[in-house]
Structure 1
Amino acid sequence: MGKGKAFFVLATIAVVVFIIVYAGVNLTSNLGKSKTEISSEDAAKKLNKVYGNISVTTAEPVKGQIDLDPVAIGDSLPDISKYPISVQNTTDSFVEIFSSPEKAGTGIDGWLNEVAEEFNKSNTTVNGMPVSVKIRNIASGTAKDYIISGKYVPDAFTPSNELWGEMVKESGANIELVSKRLTGNVTGVVTKKAKYDELIKKYGSLNLKTLTDAIAANELAMGYTDPFASSTGLNFLVTALRTFDSSDMLGEKAVQEFEKFQANVPFIASTTIQMRDAAKSGMLDAFVLEYQTFVNAADLKSGYVFTPFGVRHDSPLYAVGNVPQEKQDIIKAFAEFVEQEKYQSLAEKKGFNGLNDYQSEMDAIESSLLPSAQKLWKEKKDGNKPVAAVFVADVSGSMDGEPLNRLKESLLTGQKYLGRDNSIGFVSYSDSVSINLPIAKYDTNQQSMFVGAINSLQASGGTATFDGIVVAMKMLQDEIALNPDVKPIIFVLSDGETNKGHSLDDIRGLIESYKIPVYTIGYNADIQALQSISSINEAASINADTDDVVYKIGQLLNVQM
């Protein structure tokens, strides 16, 4: 495997954990039996038989020195160049604008880029000097992290909704609202028409209150997106909490209602794209989505109903930091330019400005409540069920050198996010499999041994990926026998194809029967086999870039563990 894969490991880890969080363990429990799925009794017999054919050793525990200092977001963020410039400035006097992806991407998602290019050709001047704008495509939650950490502060910021601006303001960073709306959009719940009609018949109307009631009653299988990363997810969270108790969205009543509701949510995705992919499986009755995405999805126009909720997603525009007067004038000039009928008509063609009459029924939310709402979600989203996770790391010869170093760096940073109520195990594999760390509660002692296990990894030999997965499944089944309420998860970090040990066909029935989601990550590799593993139980497989692996791992672990 080439040197380029060296970085894969890092990505592997990052995404691995990351994905775990967002994909949701319970989703797999809804799948029916396939042709290769076997009974629980036969699965136990087969697991023991396959496990017995694998060369497994248990490494001597080695304690490492742990770092108790919290992770600084700025230290884990990748260089800003990781996030592309979608429109380049054309003059020396310009402002850089962080923009959310639904308007700074390509095609139907490229509206702001097209307007910015027109602005840069318009010969607009400020103080007699020609001016222009630079647009950087970056998700609203990530943009917020750059601004709050101070690692990179743009001149202006246009997130999907005002909630992110309020969070930046709450952090103490300097931010000023220039325009409440560049273009109109809303977020909503997309529901299958048959299920929508069923709920209308029972509840009389469909809104977030009746939706959450239906979910709590286990009448509706709905998914939503991560409120730490997704604008729609954050909006959904605070709207739901306010629905549970309009007078105190963080009070005991709201918390109890949230726990009841969350217990029946089968799927949480990290991004809208992941949510759309999951929706295509047909397993969800409803899911959250922005209206602009909904109207551009041909497969959703018939058979689904869109119900708006929460604050509007009108792409507000903020000046950020200590912006000089000249730059403030450029930002205002751009906001005025965008308002022209020509460009609002263009926005409409791309799916924006479609529900202009919708107004939120919710009062303005105090900025101080937003971080607290996110914290509440992290603490309560799994109820009283801790996670039992086994990390399965490829230490074959192709990982030698930089790939393994990056793997270690990622895990050592990411382990700071692992919750103390969860249990962690660690397995590494090459020609054979080594149990570097048996599953145990992630207390200070386990953390020290996890760090020691990571530091002791060495690369050599072939790649027995499926043997490593079997060992992880056996560890998790033994843990479930002792603690039946845990949520099992496997993370596979690998940079190449299997060339030793068992094949996917050998263990597919086991993966299906135990319904343990297996998340896999590869870096610029042929990971078709890994994708096949993840698809069995609706988990995710990602080909990731190592430049931002540490940040991604931190996000995933922060939410999931």
Structure 2
Amino acid sequence: MAGKGKAFVVIGAIAVSVFLLVYLGISLTSNLGKTKTQITTEDAAKKLDKLYKDVSVKTIEPIKGQIDLDPASIGDSLPDISKFSVSVTNTTDSFVEIFSSTEKSGTGVDGWLNEVAEEFNKSNTTVNGKPVSVMIRNIASGTATDYIRSGKYIPDAFTPSNELWGEMVKADGIQAELISKRLVGNVTGIVATKAKYDELVDKYGSLNLKTVTDAIADNELAMGYTDPFASSTGLNFLVTALGTFDSSNLLGEKAVQGFEKFQANVPFIASTTLQMREAAKTGMLDAFVLEYQTFVNATDFKAGYVFTPFGVRHDSPLYALGDLPKDKLDIIQKFADFVEQEKYQKLAEQKGFNGLNDYKSELEAVDGSILSAAQKLWKEKKNGSKPIAAVFVADVSGSMGGEPLNRLKESLLKGQKFLGRDNSIGFVSYSSDVAINLPIGKYDTNQQSMFVGAIDSLQASGGTATFDGIVVAMKMLQDEMALNPDVKPLIFVLSDGETNEGHSLKDIRGLIETYKIPIYTIGYNANIKALQSISSINEAASINADTEDVVYKISNLLNVQM
């Protein structure tokens, strides 16, 4: 990327500050410092068989349920917009509401736009003789785009991290007028360990996204990136990577074939930036993607890292949405002009923005319809030639009775639409004992109907043998992998996190580590720390479902992982 931005080397303590989750509220606990209890594959098989024999397991005759064959719509799962906080409140009756990406409307170093908006609201700015103000709503770019495109909630203005989201909004026929191409400067990039950076430069002559995709395709680089449906950096990475294979046709056969080869060797796709960065801290990844503003504010990585920018700039464009009256357009323009003042741009520099101003976007504007098609391609091709085999493990103990079990059912019934048809799905429920409600099978219409029937039939009673349920799921997956060695195994545990019967985490930790099965946990009125301790073993995510946006969270999780 000579001439388009320098590689910035940071040696010593770098790292991961607390960062607002991109859209899901997912957390992940690092396994650094934990004692490994991994055992050999042969011993693991023997231990799994022994543990399985200790569990009281019954197989239930599958029941078919009524399924909805309409295509999945992420808009259907969106919660009320009040779920996303207003970070700056309007101070006048004449105002505009602005959706703002989280790196500039959060707190601390991520609160730059809030501080400027509060100053604007104190500035006595008027339009047609009336005092005006702005309201800022803190919402990740991908989630904000879901609201706008679905029509569920459209604010007056939108400032995502990059222009790709604006193009997607316009492609859906929503009027989006670009008021300012840049509120504040930022770029996204690949953060690589110094050792891996030097190695790749020695071999390829430089490090850029082309050499990165080549290195990944040749299995020379373990790199993670974020969900392109939700993450600005993830979407930028996806379309830029496709462009390295065929810049003239991002969706052509050459680009698709290159992407499939590259994607087959990507070890980790994170649902959130925080999840990816926690995985990086364990030493699992040679490189990962991150915005520069976050990178320069990081404080606790132990090793040296190099930042290499790529793709479109993340300059926080500002769009006016819909057919707004002139007064509102004038407020948006006055706010854009206000933000550009030197003192507020210097404030931005103090918070890590406006660095790497010499970097020019290496990607031309991409039509929103192509971006949507690229997301669809990613969904279809992200697992390469490896289909997924997943077992859902549902807690139906007495403590799940009432609202927790109702929420569990609702989130699964709506989220199951996002399960890919090429995948295989099984279902287990547990209380004091464990029931196999649905053996693993290809997720065709028949399996979907039985999956829905299994969910509908759940009733709560008895104790909580969580790890017995996981043992049964692991046994089902090992049996499936004996028949289909190429599948990628996953487990999803839906529980309140309180285990009072059966095996313990200590009993099965070695198995989880040996088999390397990611276990995603979703907590309902839960002991979240207990669930995080399970998910952290193989760098999976844990969702707190005690919020009204649980259906959206789970739908997005399944969209990414399945």
Q: TM-score range by the shorter chain?
A: over 0.9
Q: What amino acid is the match of 2:42?
A: E
Matching of residue 308 in structure 1 with residue 297 in structure 2: no
The answer to whether the 8 Å contact 2:497/2:531 transfers is no
Distance 1:19 1:180 in 2: 29
Aligned-CA RMSD value = 2.1
TM-score by length of 1: 0.93
Q: What amino acid is the match of 2:174?
A: A
Partner of 2:541: 540
Matches within 5 A, 1:415-430: 415-430=416-431
Distance 1:552 1:193 in 2: 35
SS of match in other structure, 1:391:
strand
Partner of 2:411: 410
Partner of 1:448: 449
Q: What amino acid is the match of 1:156?
A: A
Partner of 1:71: 72
Deviations 1:197-227 (A, max 9, x none): 1111111111111111111111111111110
Partner of 1:503: 504
Distance 1:403 1:66 in 2: 22
Partner of 1:396: 397
Deviations 1:486-543 (A, max 9, x none): 0000111111310011111111121122111111122453233322222222222233
Q: What amino acid is the match of 1:168?
A: V
Q: What amino acid is the match of 1:417?
A: F
Distance 1:42 1:73 in 2: 43
Change (3 A) 1:233 1:190: same
* Higher share in helix: 1
Q: What amino acid is the match of 1:541?
A: S
TM-score by length of 2: 0.93
Q: What amino acid is the match of 2:256?
A: V
Deviation at 1:19, TM superposition (A): 10
Distance 2:531 2:170 in 1: 42
Q: What amino acid is the match of 1:292?
A: Q
Matches within 5 A, 1:249-288: 249-288=250-289
Deviation at 1:148, TM superposition (A): 0.9
Matching of residue 331 in structure 1 with residue 340 in structure 2: no
The answer to whether the 8 Å contact 1:494/1:522 transfers is yes
Matching of residue 434 in structure 1 with residue 435 in structure 2: yes
The answer to whether the 8 Å contact 2:193/2:303 transfers is no
Distance 1:72 1:306 in 2: 36
Distance 1:76 1:35 in 2: 39
Matches within 5 A, 1:475-494: 475-494=476-495
SS of match in other structure, 1:428:
strand
Distance 1:43 1:172 in 2: 55
SS of match in other structure, 1:533:
helix
Partner of 2:149: 148
Distance 1:350 1:444 in 2: 51
Distance 1:144 1:299 in 2: 32
Partner of 1:355: 356
SS of match in other structure, 1:220:
coil
The answer to whether the 8 Å contact 2:463/2:500 transfers is yes
Deviation at 1:362, TM superposition (A): 2.4
Partner of 2:6: none
Deviations 1:319-357 (A, max 9, x none): 011211110000000000000000000000000001111
Aligned residues: 539
Deviation at 1:271, TM superposition (A): 2.1
Deviations 1:54-107 (A, max 9, x none): 111111211111111223333210000000000000000000000000000000
The answer to whether the 8 Å contact 2:271/2:560 transfers is no
Matches within 5 A, 1:103-142: 103-142=104-143
Query: Relative to structure 2, which stretch is displaced further, 104-113 or 496-505?
Result: 496-505
The answer to whether the 8 Å contact 1:430/1:461 transfers is yes
Partner of 2:463: 462
Partner of 1:227: 228
SS of match in other structure, 2:548:
helix
Query: Relative to structure 2, which stretch is displaced further, 268-277 or 117-126?
Result: 268-277
Matches within 5 A, 1:88-237: 88-237=89-238
Q: What amino acid is the match of 1:99?
A: S
SS of match in other structure, 1:134:
strand
Deviation at 1:403, TM superposition (A): 1.4
Deviation at 1:419, TM superposition (A): 1.3
SS of match in other structure, 1:101:
coil
Deviations 1:132-155 (A, max 9, x none): 000000010110111111111100
SS of match in other structure, 1:190:
strand
SS of match in other structure, 1:177:
strand
**Bigger relative CO (Cα 8 Å, ≥ 6 apart):** 1
Query: Relative to structure 2, which stretch is displaced further, 432-441 or 269-278?
Result: 269-278
Q: What amino acid is the match of 1:427?
A: V
The answer to whether the 8 Å contact 2:404/2:524 transfers is no
Matching of residue 84 in structure 1 with residue 74 in structure 2: no
Query: Relative to structure 2, which stretch is displaced further, 403-412 or 103-112?
Result: 403-412
Matching of residue 379 in structure 1 with residue 376 in structure 2: no
Distance 2:25 2:238 in 1: 20
Q: What amino acid is the match of 1:503?
A: S
Query: Relative to structure 2, which stretch is displaced further, 536-545 or 192-201?
Result: 536-545
Q: What amino acid is the match of 2:203?
A: K
Partner of 1:50: 51
